Amino acid sequence: MRRVYRKIAKEHGVSVQEVKRDMRTAIEYAYKKPTRSESEKTIQESIACKKGVPTPKEFVTYADRELKREEK
């Protein structure tokens, strides 16, 4: 994950902390927005996380696994 954060930060000219903060903010917004569709809710419920909202690491792990599954 550290490599992912660094690459994104470098590409956008920001710090790693900003990347993590912005990812957390975007994920939290997606989970808490009042206008979530049923398909969004279904996908969100399928993401394994320890708390109600996944961490950036949990989200990226899920996305990576889904992309690999689609490649097959």
Query: What is the pTM assigned to this prediction?
Result: 0.81
Looking at residue 13, its amino acid is G
What do you get for the CA distance between the two ends of the chain, in Å? 23
Q: Give residue-wise pLDDT tens across range 26-59.
A: 999 999 998 999 999 999 999 989 888 999 999 9
Task: Indicate whether 17 pLDDT > 90.
Answer: yes
Task: Indicate whether 72 pLDDT > 80.
Answer: no
Please state the φ and ψ torsions of residue 34, each to the nearest 5 degrees.
Answer: -75, -15
